[in-house]
Structure 1
Amino acid sequence: MSSYEARFKVWRGDVQGGGLEDFKVEVNDGEVVLDIIHRLQATQAPDLAVRWNCKAGKCGSCSAEINGRPRLMCMTRMSVFTREETITVTPLRAFPVVRDLVTDVGFNYTKAREVPSFVPPEGLAPGEYRMMQEDVDRSQEFRKCIECFLCQDTCHVVRDHEENKPAFAGPRFLMRVAELDMHPLDAASETGLDRKKTAQDEHGLGYCNITKCCTEVCPEGIKITDNALIPLKERAVDRKYDPLVWLGSKIRRRSS
């Protein structure tokens, strides 16, 4: 097994402030960035704070920015960098720092609670639901999400404009709204809940300008923009501006 010495810059600090600290650390064949961070903890910086769990790209815990790009540290192989390159590891920029590479991602859980859950169809018990396979497949793509929040971090609406956070759910949770809105068994509309309208009015769908940066960083390869956000935007626009829908709402209102 061959090894070499790599140069790292790792952000150290807390909510009060901090900066990049230089390290030289051994790298072996086949290792990922998280391996190196663990070696730093073991040999040079025992108080370095980092969040991780599965080390298999399935828990989303070890999200960070590596050379400025949001990535999972456990899925970023050292072989993608040259041996001469200095590798910079910093916390997710869109969220408040707790300490070192650990950020407070509570914003995302707040947004998750704001999305109304699936509404079961009346008269059907669990186990009696029936769907076309193509509808199952369509929803299944979105359920691959591991909630690493890299899409939330890279979305410039959140990343560059703190003031947008109260009004904007971010791509991860707009994707959840889209999944529920296209679910053939979701009975939200029968309870008076219009998911397309709430996406626009309550979750900030209009803030998204479909730059596809969320799709580019998704470690699960979910086509967030093409398969969730753009179709949701199209349905929301149809609902709001289609003259036939508008006329129908007028007729129903007059009849009632």
Structure 2
Amino acid sequence: MSSYEARFKVWRGDAEGGGLEDFAVEVNDGEVVLDIVHRLQATQAPDLAVRWNCKAGKCGSCSAEVNGRPRLLCMTRMSVFRRDETITVTPLRAFPVIRDLVTDVGFNYTKARQVPAFVPPEGVAAGEYRMMQEDVDRSQEFRKCIECFLCQDVCHVVRDHEENKPAFAGPRFLMRVAELDMHPLDAAEEAGLDRKRTAQDEHGLGYCNITKCCTEVCPEGIRITDNALIPLKERAADRKYDPLVWLGNRIRRR
């Protein structure tokens, strides 16, 4: 096994402030950035705070920014960097720092609670649900989300404009709205819930300008923009601006 010494800059601090601290640390073949952070804890910075759990890219806990790009530390291989490159590890920029690389992502759980759950169809028991495989596949893509919140972090609507947070759910939860809206068994409309309207009025769908940055950082390869956000925007626009839909709604109300 070959090894070399790498240069790291790791952000240290808390809610009151902080800065980058320089480290020289050993790197071995096959290691990922999280391995190096653990080595720093073991040898040079025992009080370095980092959140992690599975180390297999499935829990979403070890989200941070490596050289300015939101990544999972456990899935970022050291081999993708040059040996003479200085690697910078910082906390997620869109959320408040607790300490070192650990941020308060409570914003995301608040937004999750604001999305109304699946509405079961009336008169159909759970074991009697039947769906076309095409509909299962479409929904299953979004179910791969591990809630690492990298898409939330990279979205400039959240990242660069703190004032938008109260009115904007972010790509992860707009994707959840889209998933439910296209679910063939969701009986939201029969229950008086218009998911397309709430996507615009309550979850800030109009703030999204489909730059696809959320899709680019998703570790599960979910096509958030193409398969969730753009179709949801199209359906919301149809519902709000299509004159035939408007006329049909007026007739139904009468």
Alpha-carbon deviation of 1:249? 1.6
Q: CA deviation at 1:59?
A: 0.1
CA-to-partner distance for each residue in 1:100-134, whole Å, 9 max, x for gaps?
00000000000000000000001111111000000
Q: CA deviation at 1:248?
A: 1.2
CA RMSD of aligned residues (A): 0.4
* Counterpart secondary structure, 2:127: coil
What is the TM-score with the length of structure 1 in the denominator?
Answer: 0.99
**In structure 2, what is the Cα distance between the partners aligned to 1:249 and 1:215?**
35
Matched, 1:35 2:63: no
Query: Alpha-carbon deviation of 1:88?
Result: 0.1
- Whole-Å separation in 2 of the counterparts to 1:221 and 1:127: 30
Residue by residue over 1:6-41, the C-alpha shift from the partner in whole angstroms, topping out at 9 and shown as x without a partner, is: 000000000000000000000000000000000000
What is the SS of the residue equivalent to 2:21?
Answer: strand
Write the distance in 2 (CA, Å) between the matches of 1:253 and 1:125.
30
Question: Sequence identity of aligned pairs in percent?
Answer: 92
* Distance of 1:160 and 1:8 partners within structure 2: 26
Measured against aligned partners, the alpha-carbon deviations of 1:72-111 in whole angstroms (never above 9, x if no partner) come to 0000000000000000000000000000000000000000
Which residue in the other structure is 1:101 paired with? 101
* CA distance in structure 2 between the partners assigned to 1:12 and 1:179 by the alignment: 38
1:252 Cα deviation from its structure 2 partner: 2.2
Distance in 1, matches of 2:253 and 2:79, equals 64
For residues 178-233 of structure 1, give each alpha carbon's deviation from its aligned partner in whole angstroms, at most 9, with x where no partner exists: 00000000000001000000000000000000000000000000000000000000
Which residue of the partner structure matches residue 6 of structure 2?
6
- Give the secondary structure class of the aligned counterpart of 2:124: coil
- TM-score of the aligned structures, taking structure 2 as reference length: 1.00
Listed as ranges, the matches of 1:103-118 within 5 Å are: 103-118=103-118
3-state SS in 2 of match to 1:164: helix
* C-alpha separation in 1, matches of 2:153 and 2:48: 22
Q: Distance in 2 between matches of 1:249 and 1:224?
A: 30
Q: Output one character per residue of 1:41-68: Cα deviation in whole Å (capped at 9) or x when no partner.
A: 0000000000000000000000000000
Displacement after TM superposition at 1:253 (Å): 2.5
1:142 Cα deviation from its structure 2 partner: 0.1
Mind listing any 5+ residue stretches in structure 2 that lack a counterpart?
none
Aligned equivalents of 1:243, 1:96: Cα separation in 2 = 44
Say how many residue pairs are matched. Answer: 254
Distance in 1 (CA, whole Å) between partners of 2:181 and 2:244 is: 20
CA distance in 2, matches of 1:253, 1:194: 15
**Partners of 2:252 and 2:72 in 1: CA distance:** 51
Query: Which residue of the partner structure matches residue 230 of structure 1?
Result: 230
